Structure 1
């Protein structure tokens, strides 16, 4: 994300969306009642077009809407905003009418709020920093199958490639098809590297295929092989990607990436709850009590729970930060978010055991 202009006194921020992760960050910033100004398009029909059932002409113009609803869909890579038109060319659109537009990569927009909270501003700054952080690509390789896991800020993006390489008795044909499969896998890696800021490729697998594929890269795609490290695992497919992420030496590489950090934090929380140590608690009332005592080391909040309880949680976050605790918004669409939502959407890791207010 690129923040182009900020004026807190007038409640205005102008920014440009640079990638998919920015949309996730924005989904926690833009709220009902905010004003959003951007370029959009609408099909405009002249009277003669209406009489002849023509579709009309698409016109691009700038307008401002007061947000009524916003929805982020990571699968279609769009953030859809609907609202009431407050400003715009009156010859093209009626004031007070409804309008919906998509925010996507490359969109520039101006957000106007009555008050920008510290939580909102922190989220924008985090988006700026995240754009500079390199991503990690994990490739789990098996015979004729490759699972790609791109570790984004907002999620783990999976891609699968599967090809039939033939039976073990067709040695010559099997080798040819295996080389073709390696070539397709390498081509996909090259395409991902051309459009993403990827610092390292981790090639993993349970058998010998990972070493075979690494040798293929060294011979045919040395520029890819230079970035690749090999990791032995016992799982296949997406489970293999998860196994790689939990390895201690790999965790050090990816721990700053938000989606990987989410997994690590929720795993730490569930471990403390499972041990009954009193260092992991959940439930908003107990957590507010702990925050009042300055006992919270790390506060974990699901982003969808935050949007539903914004005012109460902003007060809680302020208390935690004032006591030098950490606040982490967890993406509810990932596995870590689903686990946190099953605990009510908010939990905390404590500085010292809190059996007196924790979950018994």
Structure 2
């Protein structure tokens, strides 16, 4: 999520992932004001008619109702128009704003809680684990990618260098090498400027031919020279993709990248489920599962790690999703951690056999099921 605080009452948002829309949905209250670009059918007098021309306008509405459509990944915010950048728009008329990913909008409240702003600022600064460098001769695009794939990608930088103009054969090789090194140097500078290596786990290098391999051969000794420790210490994994275009979607849809993402998620999920399984088999009250038992453990502030399936945590049923999201937030506020399991891998399937929600406890509770809370 991108956000900028305009003043003490107004914050500007751009939802980058589907989860950002859910977070924003939970922020908006009746009586708030939301301003965004939209379209309305109007005649020359500003009156809405079915036969009128659809016009792009920016309007601000006073919120009366908000609906979250997970399937369509959109927020429908309804209310009466209080202002517009177009004089022909009738103030007081009803309108529904459709807030989607990558659409900039402003949310104004009479009062913002400081804790909410701090939490939003922290979430907007979270760093992506995956970076993509798309290259062809003399051109490179650098992206960081969130968990929602191309829809959550941020284009960090574009690098362009002119190709060598020399035509003499004797100078061709040296000129090409110097130009390539100059290009690679510029790409590396842009990469280290815009990408947080500390949070990065994987870099995808994509290009036609061998350009990606040549850049990697240049990168390794330069990383040692510049003391880029995550690369030198091999904490960052490189994935090489042959790409015929500068299409990020083509790269992210490639089997190699998909396999990496699936493997990464499965390794993480397996680690957390194994910890739960060890605690469960020890039979010393160090684990629990099922909504009621987990809820009681949370009431006792006894949860070290909450495990929940993606099916529950991001359910299309708003009530189910809100219930599990509120529980997760409560666990975090009590000092615990939360891990959401991917639905498709083996660990996610195993967790569903334990009702889809479980916990490893920091305080053993052998009589948890007998407690009345």
State the TM-score, normalizing by the size of structure 2. 0.53
Q: Report the 3-state secondary structure (helix = DSSP H, G, I; strand = E; otherwise coil) of the residue aligned with 1:20.
A: coil
Shift of residue 105, structure 1, vs aligned partner: 3.4
- Cα distance in structure 2, aligned partners of 1:117 and 1:47: 45
Q: Does 1:40 align with 2:37?
A: yes
- Cα distance in structure 2, aligned partners of 1:321 and 1:355: 23
- Cα distance in structure 2, aligned partners of 1:18 and 1:98: 21
Shift of residue 286, structure 1, vs aligned partner: 0.1
Q: Does 1:272 align with 2:301?
A: no
Change over 3 Å in CA distance of 1:231–1:105 after alignment to 2: closer
Q: Which of 79, 86, 101 pairs up with 1:85?
A: 79
Aligned to 1:347: 358
Shift of residue 15, structure 1, vs aligned partner: 2.4
Aligned to 2:314: 304
Larger relative contact order, structure 1 or 2 (CA cutoff 8 Å, min sep 6): 1
Change over 3 Å in CA distance of 1:60–1:109 after alignment to 2: closer
Shift of residue 107, structure 1, vs aligned partner: 1.2
Change over 3 Å in CA distance of 1:155–1:84 after alignment to 2: closer
Aligned to 1:178: none
Aligned residue pairs total 283
More divergent stretch after superposition (89-98 vs 45-54): 45-54
Q: Which of 91, 94, 97 pairs up with 1:97?
A: 94
Q: Which of 119, 123, 126 pairs up with 2:122?
A: 126
Instruction: Map 1:143-222; keep pairs closer than 5 Å.
Output: 152=146, 154-155=147-148, 197=195, 199=197, 202=202, 215-218=213-216, 222=219
Q: Does 1:328 align with 2:338?
A: yes
- Cα distance in structure 1, aligned partners of 2:6 and 2:48: 42
Q: Unpaired runs of 5+ in structure 2?
A: 134-141, 154-179, 240-254
Q: Report the 3-state secondary structure (helix = DSSP H, G, I; strand = E; otherwise coil) of the residue aligned with 1:294.
A: coil
Aligned to 1:4: 5
Shift of residue 45, structure 1, vs aligned partner: 2.1
Aligned to 1:169: none
Aligned to 1:24: 19
State the TM-score, normalizing by the size of structure 1. 0.55
Q: Report the 3-state secondary structure (helix = DSSP H, G, I; strand = E; otherwise coil) of the residue aligned with 1:28.
A: helix
Shift of residue 37, structure 1, vs aligned partner: 0.9
Instruction: Map 1:215-254; keep pairs closer than 5 Å.
Output: 215-218=213-216, 222=219, 226=223, 236-243=256-263, 245=264
1:142-164 superposed Cα distances (whole Å, 9 cap, x missing partner)? xxxxxx99652x445599xxxxx
Aligned to 2:63: 65
1:184-208 superposed Cα distances (whole Å, 9 cap, x missing partner)? xx99xx7995996353574699xxx
Q: Report the 3-state secondary structure (helix = DSSP H, G, I; strand = E; otherwise coil) of the residue aligned with 1:92.
A: coil
- Cα distance in structure 1, aligned partners of 2:6 and 2:148: 28
- Cα distance in structure 2, aligned partners of 1:3 and 1:202: 28
Change over 3 Å in CA distance of 1:335–1:95 after alignment to 2: farther
Shift of residue 69, structure 1, vs aligned partner: 1.0
Aligned to 1:295: 302
CA contact (8 A) 1:29 1:123 kept: no
Q: Report the 3-state secondary structure (helix = DSSP H, G, I; strand = E; otherwise coil) of the residue aligned with 2:294.
A: helix
Q: Unpaired runs of 5+ in structure 1?
A: 140-147, 160-182, 206-211, 246-259
1:287-325 superposed Cα distances (whole Å, 9 cap, x missing partner)? 122123332112345543595257866875676456x43
1:266-291 superposed Cα distances (whole Å, 9 cap, x missing partner)? 43442134342454433221012212
- Cα distance in structure 1, aligned partners of 2:114 and 2:321: 11
